[in-house]
Structure 1
Amino acid sequence: MERVLVWDWPTRIGHWLMALAFLVAYLTGESEEWRLVHVWAGGALAGLVAFRLFWGLVGTRHARFADFVRAPKAAWHYLTGLAGGRAEHYTGHNPAGAYAILALLGLGLAAAATGWPTYQDIGGEWLEELHEGVVNAMLAVVVVHLAGVLVGSLAHRENLPRAMVTGLKLGRRDEAIAGAALWAVPLLLVLALSCAWWLSL
């Protein structure tokens, strides 16, 4: 195997912007002074999630859900192999990581769906508590995801965070994507900013 281009620009930029938006939203969630920043960060997160769902259908090879979402049995097989020191290497996302991604995307949408009415003083205290529960569940999945990245990096002797920066991962030459799809980055940014602005109204 050699280092080949696996992650396109929209996937990489969207990944890090989602992490930043979640961090900002989480840290400002309890502050009335930073309420508008919290809403903007949450709105941006919703836009980034929406783009990732779109990109999961029409994006480059390894960004598509069809490439990495597999049956639960495959995820279990990967995890047991990882625990036994014989995990199969995947050029794109591994089957267990796929479920973490789906959970993060779903919880990101749920956070926006419960956060916006709360910001508008709709729904009452129960909705606010539901929003907090969704966000805390998302934080738990983030922690699991980070642990998985660390374990996967050690098991496969491959720096996975660096791969999400450079776009390069170990793989066969025929598994490389044809291009980094830089053209889609403006769409990603416009959608994130539009959602942030619209949800803050």
Structure 2
Amino acid sequence: MMTEGTFSAESTPSKPAPEQSWIKVWDPLVRIGHWLLLIAIATALITRGEPESLHQGAGYVVAGYVVFRLFWGIAGPEHARFENFIALPKATLGYLGGLLNGKAKRHLGHSPPGGLMVIALLLAMSATAATGMAMENKVPVPTIVQTLVPIELEAEEEDSPWEEIHEAAANLVLGLVFLHIGGVIAASIGHKENLVRAMVNGKKRAP
């Protein structure tokens, strides 16, 4: 015989699990620019001068993105602004240490290392685009650049003295891209969220 309490306990339906809430983090311009930049960098690295027009076109896309991102880092929405993600080295090291022991603080926008990567990529891409334009327009190498960076000025006529710096900057961009991919994978695993998907639909899990 069931008591009233037993009947009540058995007949009470279980509460449904709460639905996961999402927050819009990355605006459309950041997302479109991110993937367009990826295509442009891949095109520039694959074509490395052949065909020259395609290589230069990709370079101008990279240069255009840098100009846009500098503007958007000041005038864009919250998570796109530099003030939202530029952090001190101590915060970056603390986050990396936390990621290793599973205690890293989750950030809705860029994490401290992610913010540092944005700045590093912008600087490397600026150097790559600027030296590429200098090569294209046969700009003389300033004395201060010759002092800071050893450049072979007695190159063959068809070569540009900017070429060494351009190639070094391009290789730096490639290295940073691989480092960025590794960081995205590590953070996705550490915080149990798909950061690639977030850069597609703009949404991240609410805190």
- Give TM-score scaled by structure 1 length: 0.81
* Alignment correspondent of 2:138: 121
Q: Does 1:50 align with 2:33?
A: no
Alpha-carbon distance in structure 2 between the residues aligned to 1:25 and 1:140 = 14
Deviation string, structure 1 residues 139-198 (Cα, Å, up to 9, x no partner)? 0000000000001111111000100000001234xxxxxxxxxxxxxxxxxxxxxxxxxx
Instruction: Give CA-to-partner distance per residue, 1:7-40, whole Å, 9 cap, x none.
Output: 0000000111111111101111142xx1010001
The residue correspondences of 1:112-191 to structure 2 (distance < 5 A) are 112-123=129-140, 125-172=160-207
Where 1:126 maps in the other structure, the secondary structure is: coil
Matches of 1:120 and 1:27 in 2, distance apart?
22
Confirm whether residue 38 of structure 1 aligns to residue 73 of structure 2.
no
Structure 1 stretch 112-121 or stretch 161-170: which is displaced more?
Answer: 112-121
More helix by percentage? 1
Q: Does the CA-based 8 Å contact 2:63-2:126 persist in structure 1?
A: yes
Asked which structure has the greater RCO (Cα within 8 Å, sep 6+), the reply is 1
Tell me which residue corresponds to 2:31.
Answer: 12
Q: For residues 91 and 54 of structure 2, what CA distance do their matches in structure 1 show? A: 40
Aligned to 2:104: 87
Q: Which amino acid aligns with 1:72?
A: P
Aligned counterpart, 2:16: none
Q: What percentage of residue pairs aligned between the two structures are identical?
A: 42
Structure 2 distance, partners of 1:5, 1:89, is 16
Q: In terms of Rg, which structure is larger?
A: 2
Q: Which runs of 5+ in 2 are unaligned?
A: 1-19, 141-158
The residue type paired with residue 79 of structure 2 is H
Q: Distance in 1 between matches of 2:21 and 2:111?
A: 18
Give 3-state SS (helix, strand or coil) of 2:103's partner: coil
How far apart are the structure 2 equivalents of 1:134 and 1:12? 24
CA RMSD of aligned residues (A): 1.3
Q: Which residue of 2 aligns with 1:2?
A: 21
Q: Could you say which residue in structure 1 is the equivalent of 2:153? A: none
| Residue of structure 1 in register with 2:83 after alignment | 66
Structure 2: distance between partners of 1:122 and 1:65: 32
Give the counterpart letter for 1:128 in structure 2.
Answer: E
Per the TM alignment, residue 119 of structure 1 is displaced from its structure 2 partner at its CA by 1.9
The unaligned stretches of length 5 or more in structure 1 are 173-201
Q: CA deviation at 1:85?
A: 1.5
TM-score (norm 2): 0.79
Query: 2:30 touches 2:80 (CA, 8 Å); kept in 1?
Result: yes
Alpha-carbon distance in 1 for matches of 2:123, 2:206: 29
2:114 is matched with which residue? 97
What is the CA–CA distance in structure 2 between the aligned matches of 1:137 and 1:115, rounded to whole Å?
Answer: 14
* Counterpart selection for 1:26 from 45, 55, 58: 45
